[in-house]
Structure 1
Amino acid sequence: MDIIFIILIILAGLYGALMLWYRYGWQHLQPYAPPVHDINFHTKVSIIIPARNEECHILTCLEAVCLQSYPQRLVEILVVNDHSTDRTAELVKSFASKNVRLINLADHLKEGDPLNSYKKKAIETAVGLCSGDLIITTDADCVMHKYWVETLVGFYEHNGYKFIAAPVSYYHENDFFKVFQSLDFLSMQGITGAAAQLRCGTMCNGANLAYEKKAFQDVGAFKGIDCIASGDDMLLMYKMYKAYPDGIGFLKHPQAIVHTLPAEGLNAFMNQRIRWASKADKYEDKRLTAVLAFVYFWNITLFALFIAGFFHPLFWIWCIGLIIFKALTELFFLWPVAKFFQKTRLLWQFFPAQFLHIPYIIVAGWLGKFGRYEWKSRKVR
């Protein structure tokens, strides 16, 4: 039994070191400082919003996008209607803005063509039709600060990055389950920024991305990854990274944050997380795959200790102790991240959230590899 406890101590030490490493990365990621003087912007921007059955959110999103401070003459907004069966297309058509353009994805598909990733096809179609030099993608259920585009473009023009990942946060966390989702998502965002600074296993989220149109086309768009249902964000980022190793940046600034809604209910949440987990073994950067595998094994170990406690109560003591250790190290990492996103008020619920976090990681990780999920009323394997 001594060997088991030695292994547990080693695993805990490695996990604690990982959290410390991520905190170091986040803390050393320098916030973007926009110039205090007026900028003479010159970059033409195309904002692409894929939308499927988003009648409840699309108008709020368009209002936020159209209220941007960035010069309207340099902005076009393309909403790609992905076979919506509700009033999404109708609402976009009725939206009073000359900058908003509706694209029906069905009009650009050949009948009988096999397609596993409609979102990638929606983005690729819009890029082929847009006139901007810088592509910005977001989701139809998102809202953003009025200086969102201005901050993204300023960061792009200042640094010359080919691909920019930017922060995403949940809002309207009005019950414990949504707070749990928000805390989990905060940790992902913190790791995204930290990994970008450490240049190891960088991540991103398609709700807030910017990349050069020319660079997108030069790497072959989504060719080679279009057979994978998910991954319009991270898998594309790795293609960009391979072509432009120094061309990837993370924008750390409050005005760049895009806000999105947490999933409504357990089923929607699990489908979302299984979808995210399904691309884990497709990442080009195997360092990230190794970290994800280690974190998965760590959570399985904690769950196995809980089960073993029914046969030997000593394992329950170890299980409780290691869960407390896990929570404390994660909280130490998460505190500055929550402060940046102005979410510190949620942290008092962090400890009870652990009892949902461990089983969700195990189930989502397994089904992401071996199961199937439903997304936007489509079943995906």
Structure 2
Amino acid sequence: MYWFGKLKVFKAAVLKPATGFTVIIPARNEEDNIENCIRSILNNNYPENLFEIIVADDFSTDRTPEIVHRLQAKYANIHIISLKKIITETINSYKKRAIELAIAQSKHEWIITTDADCIVPKGWLHLFNAYIQKNNRVFVAAPVMFTCNNSFLDIFQCLDFLSLQGITAASVYAGAHSMCNGANLAYKKTVFYEVDGFKNADHIASGDDMLLMHKIKMKYPENIGYLFSDEVIVTTPPMPDLKSFLNQRIRWASKATSYKDKRVFRVLLLVYFVNLFLGILFIACFFRPQLFLIWLSFILAKALLEMPFMYKVSRFYSLQRLLFLFVLMQPFHILYTVISGWLGTFGTYKWKGRKVR
């Protein structure tokens, strides 16, 4: 909360576009989303000679490639790479490989990654351009937000994701560099190659964002930035059902043991065991009902301590209306944290129709 409160919204004077961007979109069976994503990027009105879009088609079996090819016929700066024409063996991280292949074919110095189901704001590229010109950074994280349709599961995901985004902004500003999200991320291509890209992390399905961030932090500890502006927020839908949500969070949790900076791992371990303790205490209440008031006291104390931070973060994202369910969702958050943390370390999960170890 302290470091989040220190953040100042980035307000840049209008600067002449000078930064070249390659926007990389890994896509697998995204026929319902890919066109809207690409058009939102094109709507930035950034000079065509200073940006390109590369869609890395990850073995799609729907109309995703067809839609991209149709847009490609109208816009010369849209390109597509087909992974099935290049990858012949079974691998564990198709997304990292897709990004690597796209970077190899990119023509601009700055790489921006986003996801095929994301929508970027109109000033997206202009703000990244201004931030890069004003700050000596080689890696820039930026905010992401879930859209919310007001179902219980949607609100739960939005609140959980708000907390992660708040921690991301605060930790990068504080110099801890512990988190980021590949849906809104920029880094210099030369630096990607300096740290050997995803080498030594390419066996993990997740981590195309945070594990790369940690590698770059080791080489450039003072050159990691966070573009804190509500005008650069990328929006993406939450998972449509409980199964998809758990698989997503298990995938995120699967990289926890891969951080070379063990301070991050220790924090994750602490969070896990606090939630495990609260979960075990709740189960114990069925055998010793007198423990319920103790458990409830812990839950209320936890929620009250977290609420000021959540209010600050939700105000930045204009989502204060969701906080009325924050206390009620605490038990569900504990349960999901324990399950996803365990399965992310010891289990398998399905993502994009693939079983991942």
| TM-score bracket relative to the smaller structure | over 0.9
CA distance in 1, matches of 2:176, 2:149: 31
- Give the equivalent residue in structure 1 for 2:126: 150
| Secondary structure, aligned partner of 2:260 | coil
Q: CA-to-partner distance for each residue in 1:104-128, whole Å, 9 max, x for gaps?
A: 112232x33x521100000000000
Matched, 1:379 2:355: yes
What is the aligned partner in structure 1 of residue 3 from structure 2?
25
State which drifts further: 172-181 or 238-247. Answer: 172-181
Q: Work out whether residues 45 and 132 of structure 1, in 8 Å CA contact, stay in contact via their aligned partners in 2.
A: yes
- For 1:3, the equivalent position in structure 2 comes to none
* The one of 47, 57, 66 aligned to 2:42: 66
The within-5 A match list for 1:133-282 is 133-282=109-258
2:110 partner amino acid? L
Aligned partner (choices 98, 101, 104) of residue 82 of structure 2: 104
Q: What's 1:51 paired with?
A: 27
Paired with 2:151 and 2:92, the residues of 1 have a C-alpha distance of 34
Conserved 8 A contact 1:173-1:182: no
In the alignment, which residue of structure 2 is the partner of 1:345? 321
SS in 1 for 2:335: helix
Could you tell me how far apart the structure 2 residues matched to 1:230 and 1:208 are?
15
Residue of structure 2 equivalent to 1:333: 309
TM-score normalised by length of structure 1: 0.91
2: CA distance, partners of 1:244 / 1:267: 38
Is this contact kept in 2: 1:119–1:232, CA < 8 A? Answer: yes
> Equivalents in 2 of 1:196, 1:373: separation in Å?
29
1:364 to 324, 334, 340: 340
Q: Which residue of 2 aligns with 1:76?
A: 52
Q: Secondary structure at the match of 1:143?
A: coil
Contact 1:201-1:287 at 8 Å conserved across structures: no
Q: CA deviation at 1:314?
A: 2.5
Q: How far off its partner does 1:173 sit?
A: 2.8
Report the alpha carbon displacement of residue 256 of structure 1 after superposing the two structures with TM: 1.2
* CA–CA separation in structure 2 for the residues paired with 1:314 and 1:172: 38
Kindly tell me the number of residue pairs found equivalent between the two proteins.
355
- Contact 2:145 2:161 survives alignment (8 Å): yes
SS of corresponding position for 1:190:
helix
Residue equivalent to 2:61: 85
| Alpha-carbon displacement from aligned partner over 1:297-318 (angstroms, at most 9, x marks no partner) | 1111111111222232231111
TM-score by length of 2: 0.97
Per-residue deviation, 1:26: 0.6
Cα deviation 1:34-66 (Å, max 9, x = unaligned): 12xx31221111000000000111111011011
Equivalent runs, 1:116-131 vs 2, <5 Å:
116-131=92-107
- Mapped contact 2:110–2:188 kept (Cα < 8 A): yes
User: Which letter does structure 2 place at the counterpart of 1:31?
Assistant: V
> For 1:100 and 1:280, how far apart are their aligned partners in 2?
35
> How far did residue 248 of structure 1 move?
0.7
Amino acid paired to 1:242: M
RMSD, aligned α-carbons: 1.1
Asked whether the equivalents of residues 108 and 125 of structure 1 are also in contact (C-alpha less than 8 Å), the reply is no
* Secondary structure of residue in 2 paired with 1:352: coil
Cα pair 1:196 1:249 within 8 Å, conserved: yes
The answer as to whether partners of 2:177 and 2:214 remain within 8 angstroms in 1 is no
Q: Work out the CA distance in 1 between the residues paired with 2:207 and 2:281.
A: 34
Q: Distance in 2 between matches of 1:238 and 1:190?
A: 18
Asked if residue 323 in structure 1 is aligned to residue 299 in structure 2, the reply is: yes
Contact 2:177 2:224 in 1 (8 A): no
Cα deviation code 1:54-82 (max 9, x no counterpart): 01111110110110132222110001100
Q: Distance in 2 between matches of 1:41 and 1:364?
A: 43
Q: Residue 326 of structure 2 aligns to a residue in which SS?
A: helix
Question: Could you tell me whether the CA contact under 8 Å between 1:201 and 1:288 is conserved in 2?
Answer: no
Q: For residue 201 of structure 1, report the CA deviation from its aligned partner.
A: 5.0
* Distance in 1, Cα, partners of 2:61 & 2:77: 24
Take 2:99 and 2:273, find their aligned partners in 1: how far apart are those partners?
Answer: 35
